[in-house]
Structure 1
Amino acid sequence: MKQSPPPYALARVPRYTSYPTALQFSDAVGSDRHKAWLAGLGAGDRLSLYIHVPFCAQLCWYCGCHTSVPGQYQRAQRYTDCLVREIETVARHLGPHGGVSQLHFGGGTPTYLKSAEFMRILMACSTHIGSLEQAEIAVEVDPRTLDDERITLLGDLGVTRVNLGVQDFDEGVQRKINRLQSFDLVTRTVKALRTAGVPNIGFDLMYGLPGQTVDSVRRSARQAAALAPDRVAVFGYAHVPWFKKHQALIRETDLPDEGERFAQMRAAAEVWTAAGYVPIGFDHFARLGDSLANAARDGVLARNFQGYTDDGAEAVIGFGASAISALPGGYVQNEPRIGVYRALTADGGLASVRGVAVTADDRLRRDAIGRLMCRFELDMDALCARHDVPRDILADARDRLEGYALDGLCRLDGGHVTIPEKARPFVRVVASSFDAYLSDGTRHSRAV
C-alpha cells in the first residue's frame, strides 16, 4: 500500500546551516569587507578552520558538493600551493584571536591528498594562524581510497575525528549512485582507524537515494550500527540536477516517492535510537558520552556549514575553492572555480567573491532559528530582551507560528515555543517562521 507523507514533509525550506542563507550572498560583499571582518576579530574569539579539498578519485552521482576528478595528481599539488598562500594571506589580515578550536578537512575527499600535501596544510595553519595542539582535527574520508599509509598518517597526526561516507550498503543502490563499497571494506577501515588511534569515528548515511526501500535503509542502518560509530548523520538525498548536472545520471523513476522517503527517514531513526544513540537535532545521532551528545544535553549544541557541532567557536574561517567563512560581521564565500581561485590567490590576494553582511535583525532571527534547530524550544520574550528589541518586532513570526501550532508542529504558550518530539523532523519548517528572506518561489531541499 502506497504511503502518504505528512503534508509538511513536502515543504521546501533551507537547511539553516547559516542565516542569512547562501541564497542571500552577492558580489556586494567581497575581499575588502572580508579583510575588515578578519581584522575586527577580538582576542577572545576562537577560530574554527575549514579546509576544502575539491577532488575525488571518482564522481558519485548523488553528490551535491563542489568537487571534481583531476586527471593528474599534480593538480592537487598546485592546489595545495594555493591553499598555503591563502592561509598566509588570511593570517596577515587576522586581528588578535582566542586560538584555534577546530580544524576540519572537507570536500570532495580530503584524503585524496598525499601525506606531503596534508602536512604542508597543517604546518601552514599552525605556523600562521595558531597552535593546533588543543584543537580538534576532523577529516572526511572515502573508505574506497583510504589506504594504510593514509590511515597511519591520520593516527600519527593526532586526528581526533574521522567521518566516513557510507551512504548505503545495498549493492543495487550503490550501482545507481556510482559508489561501490562493501560492508567488509567499511568494517576493515573502521578497525584500522581505531587501531591507528583515531578516537572518534562518524558515519554519513542517506535516505531517498535511487533504489532504496524502507527495508534496505533499515538493513543498512543495522549494519552500520553493528560497527559502533560514535556519531551518525542521516541525510535526505536532494535531487537538484538543475544545480548539479551530474545528478541527471540518476533516473528520477528510481527515486522513492515522498511517502516512501519519509518512511525511510523514520526507519533509520528507529534503528539508531533502538541501538542506544541519542537523537541530535533532526538528522544526527551520537553515542552517550560523545561530546555532541553532551553539547545537546547541556544546551550548547550549535549548527554550521558542516551540520550540528559541539564547537562553539565565534568565527569559522574557510580556505579553498568554494569555502565559506562565518565571521561576526557576516559571511563570505571563496570563488568556486579552481582556476579562478588559483589566479586570485597567486599574488597574495583573498579569494572571497561573494557574501552577505549580517544586520542586527539577522542576528536576532539567526538566534531564534538556531535555538529551535538545536534545542527545539525558544523563549521569544527572552530572545527580544537579549537583543534589546521590542517584542512586536517578531509579530510576523508569531503569526506563522500560530498556524503551525494549529497543525501540531509546535506549541505556543505566550512567547514560549516548543516543538513536540513527533514534530521534530519538521523543525526546519517551524524555524522558517523567523526567516525574513524566505520566498515561495525559491528552490530548497524537502523538509524531510
Structure 2
Amino acid sequence: MAIDLKTQSLLARFGGQVPRYTSYPTAPHFHQGIDCDNYAQWLQALDPGEGLSLYVHIPYCDRLCWFCACHTRQTLRYAPITAYLKALYREIDTVGGLVPAGACVRAVHLGGGSPTMLLPEDMVDLMARLRVAFRFSDDVEISVEMDPNDLDVPRYDALAAIGMTRASLGVQDFDPKVQETINRIQTFEQTRSVVDSVRARGVRSINCDLLYGLPHQTLAGLERTVSDILSLDPDRIALFGYAHVPWMKKHQQMIPAEALPGAEARFEQMQRAGAMLTEAGYRAIGIDHFAKPDDRLAVAMRDGRLKRNFQGYTDDANGALIGLGASSIGRLPQGYVQNMPATGEYQRMAESGSLCVVRGIEVSLEDRIRRDAIERVMCDFRIDFAQLRAEWGPAAEPLIAEARRLAAADGGELVALDGDALSLRPQARVFARSVAAAFDTYLQTGKGRHSIAV
C-alpha cells in the first residue's frame, strides 16, 4: 500500500521525536526535589475510600531482548532474584504501613523484566505479602506480563493460584530473521501453548504485544505475524512502534540501525497491521491498542472513560497508582514519584526500612489541566471545552484559548474546531502524540530525548 504525497508531507512535518504521554509532566522532568518524605506525606494523605492500583516491578530476565527499553538486567542465577524479593517484601510492608487502612486495591500489574521468571512458590508468596500489606477488593484485576520461554506447568498453576485475570504476552514478530536480530527467539507454537494453558486455568483476558519498525521486518512478514496472532483470538492486541533509543538503552546498539525500516515503511507497517486487526473485528483504541468490542477497554472508550498510564491505555479509574520495586513510578493526587533505579541501591534503601523514592514531581493546577487535555487528545482525539470548564472552571480558559489558536494556525491539516471542541482529523489521529506535544509546556526545556511519533 503506497503512501500518498499528503501523508508523506505529514510524516515529514509531524513524525519527529515526541513523548509517548503516559504521564504529564513526563518522566524526564522528574527531579530530586521530591523525596521519601514527600512520598510518605502523599501516601498518608490518600483518601481512606480511595481505589488503588499496584504496579510491581521485577527487573530481571534470563535473556536480554535487544529491542527492550524497560529497566531490566539479565541473570542466569536465581540468587539475585531471591535477594531482590527480600528487599521488595520490605518495601511492600513499609508502603502498606503508610496507606490509610480503608484504601482498597482494585488492580495489580506484575511487570518487568520477566515476572514469570519467579519460582512458583515465590509468585504465591509475593501475592500473599501484597494481600497482607494492602486491603484487596473481592474483584481485583491481576495482570501479569509473561515470557513464554519461562513458563512450565508449576508456574501456570502458581499464576492460577494468585488469581491472575489477565495474561499479557510479548510476541513482537514471529519472523526468524527478525527474532534473531533482536535476540528474542519465540515460536508461534510456544505462544499458542501459553494461550491454551492460561485459558485452561480460567484466565478470561489475554493481551498480545506486537511491534512494527523492527530490524529486517517486512510488510509481508508482519502480515503473517498478525494472521498468526489472530488465530489465537486474543482479547486485546497492542501494536507498538519500536522505539530505537540506543542513547538511553545501550543494548539497543546491538541492533544494526541500517536494518531498521525508514519512516514511510514503518508507517505502512502500522497502517497495514491496524487494518488487518479492524477487519477482523477489533476496535481501535487510541493510537496503538485494539480490543474486541465487548472488552473492558473497548467499553471504556465507547463510554468516554478511557485512560492512559505507564502501562498504556487502560480503564483504570483508581485514584492512585503505587509503584513497588526498583525504578517503579507511582502516581498520586499530588504528583509522581519514582523509585531508585539501581537495583543494589534500591535493595539497601528498602531493607533499611526506608521508602525508595529518589525523584518525582508535584503537579500544579496548570499541570493538571494540561494533563487532562493531553490525555483526552491521546484517548479521544478530542478536547471538549465544556468538559474542561466543568472540571476546572475559569482556570481552563488559557488552555482553551491555546487550542483555538492551534486550530487557526494549523489550517485544518491535523486539527479543527468542532463546535465547542478541538478535534483531530481522522487522517491525523496517528499523529496524536505530536498534537499533544503542542500543549506540553515542559517540552521546550529540552530535557530528554524521545522516540519518533509514528
Query: What TM-score, normalized by structure 1, do the two folds share?
Result: 0.96
What residue identity is the alignment partner of 2:409?
Answer: G
Tell whether the 8 Å contact from 1:401 to 1:430 is kept in structure 2 after alignment: no
Q: Which runs of structure 2 are paired with 1:307-326 in the superposition (5 Å)? A: 307-326=312-331
Partner deviation per Cα, 1:69-98 (whole Å, 9 max, x = no partner): 124201111111111110100012113444
What residue identity is the alignment partner of 1:444?
Answer: H
Identify the match of residue 55 of structure 2 among 24, 30, 50.
Answer: 50
- Counterparts of 1:281 and 1:253, CA distance in 2: 30
Q: Provide structure 1 residue ranges, at least 5 long, that are not aligned to the other structure.
A: none
Identify the match of residue 177 of structure 2 among 159, 172, 175.
Answer: 172
Tell whether the 8 Å contact from 1:45 to 1:314 is kept in structure 2 after alignment: yes
- Counterparts of 2:121 and 2:138, CA distance in 1: 20
- Quick one: structure 1 residues 32 and 292, their matched pair in 2 at CA, closer, same or farther if it must change by over 3 Å? same
SS at match of 1:134: strand
Q: 1:391, CA displacement in angstroms?
A: 5.2
**More off after superposition, 223-232 vs 88-97:** 88-97
- Counterparts of 1:179 and 1:188, CA distance in 2: 17
Identify the match of residue 284 of structure 1 among 285, 289, 296.
Answer: 289
- Quick one: structure 1 residues 384 and 68, their matched pair in 2 at CA, closer, same or farther if it must change by over 3 Å? same
Q: 1:381, CA displacement in angstroms?
A: 4.4
- Counterparts of 2:13 and 2:272, CA distance in 1: 18
Q: Provide structure 2 residue ranges, at least 5 long, that are not aligned to the other structure.
A: none
- Counterparts of 2:334 and 2:102, CA distance in 1: 15
**2:415 aligned with 1:446:** no
Q: 1:440, CA displacement in angstroms?
A: 7.7
**More off after superposition, 112-121 vs 61-70:** 112-121
Query: How many residues align structurally?
Result: 447
Partner deviation per Cα, 1:102-123 (whole Å, 9 max, x = no partner): 0000000001111222122111
What residue identity is the alignment partner of 1:227?
Answer: L
- Quick one: structure 1 residues 407 and 420, their matched pair in 2 at CA, closer, same or farther if it must change by over 3 Å? closer
Tell whether the 8 Å contact from 2:209 to 2:240 is kept in structure 1 after alignment: yes
SS at match of 2:253: helix
SS at match of 1:367: helix
The residue number in structure 1 matching 2:366 is: 361
Q: 1:43, CA displacement in angstroms?
A: 2.2
Tell whether the 8 Å contact from 1:28 to 1:354 is kept in structure 2 after alignment: yes
Q: 1:262, CA displacement in angstroms?
A: 0.7
What residue identity is the alignment partner of 1:402?
Answer: A
Tell whether the 8 Å contact from 1:55 to 1:67 is kept in structure 2 after alignment: yes
Q: Which runs of structure 2 are paired with 1:45-444 in the superposition (5 Å)? A: 45-390=50-395, 392-394=397-399, 395-404=401-410, 406-413=411-418, 415-439=420-444, 441=446, 442-444=448-450
- Quick one: structure 1 residues 183 and 391, their matched pair in 2 at CA, closer, same or farther if it must change by over 3 Å? closer
Q: 1:397, CA displacement in angstroms?
A: 4.2
**More off after superposition, 349-358 vs 432-441:** 432-441
- Counterparts of 1:382 and 1:10, CA distance in 2: 29
Tell whether the 8 Å contact from 2:369 to 2:392 is kept in structure 1 after alignment: yes
- The percentage of aligned residue pairs carrying the same residue is 45
- Counterparts of 1:269 and 1:50, CA distance in 2: 29
Q: 1:215, CA displacement in angstroms?
A: 1.6
SS at match of 2:185: coil
Q: 1:413, CA displacement in angstroms?
A: 3.5
- Counterparts of 1:401 and 1:161, CA distance in 2: 40
Q: 1:213, CA displacement in angstroms?
A: 1.3
Q: 1:44, CA displacement in angstroms?
A: 2.6
- Counterparts of 2:397 and 2:12, CA distance in 1: 30
Partner deviation per Cα, 1:345-387 (whole Å, 9 max, x = no partner): 1121001000000101001111111112111211224413421
Tell whether the 8 Å contact from 1:139 to 1:161 is kept in structure 2 after alignment: yes
- Counterparts of 2:246 and 2:120, CA distance in 1: 35
- Counterparts of 2:64 and 2:417, CA distance in 1: 46
Q: 1:12, CA displacement in angstroms?
A: 1.5
- Counterparts of 2:337 and 2:358, CA distance in 1: 7
**More off after superposition, 391-400 vs 181-190:** 391-400
RMSD between aligned residues: 1.7
- Counterparts of 1:336 and 1:188, CA distance in 2: 34
Query: What TM-score, normalized by structure 2, do the two folds share?
Result: 0.95
The residue number in structure 1 matching 2:12 is: 7
Tell whether the 8 Å contact from 2:15 to 2:431 is kept in structure 1 after alignment: no
Q: 1:134, CA displacement in angstroms?
A: 1.8
Q: 1:235, CA displacement in angstroms?
A: 0.6
What residue identity is the alignment partner of 2:186?
Answer: Q
**More off after superposition, 250-259 vs 375-384:** 375-384
- Quick one: structure 1 residues 402 and 121, their matched pair in 2 at CA, closer, same or farther if it must change by over 3 Å? farther
**More off after superposition, 113-122 vs 31-40:** 113-122
- Quick one: structure 1 residues 38 and 174, their matched pair in 2 at CA, closer, same or farther if it must change by over 3 Å? same
Q: 1:130, CA displacement in angstroms?
A: 1.0
Q: 1:152, CA displacement in angstroms?
A: 1.8
**More off after superposition, 83-92 vs 431-440:** 431-440
The residue number in structure 1 matching 2:26 is: 21
- Quick one: structure 1 residues 318 and 390, their matched pair in 2 at CA, closer, same or farther if it must change by over 3 Å? closer
Tell whether the 8 Å contact from 1:41 to 1:96 is kept in structure 2 after alignment: no
Partner deviation per Cα, 1:388-425 (whole Å, 9 max, x = no partner): 22454223443334333x25212213641112322211
SS at match of 1:300: coil
SS at match of 2:294: coil
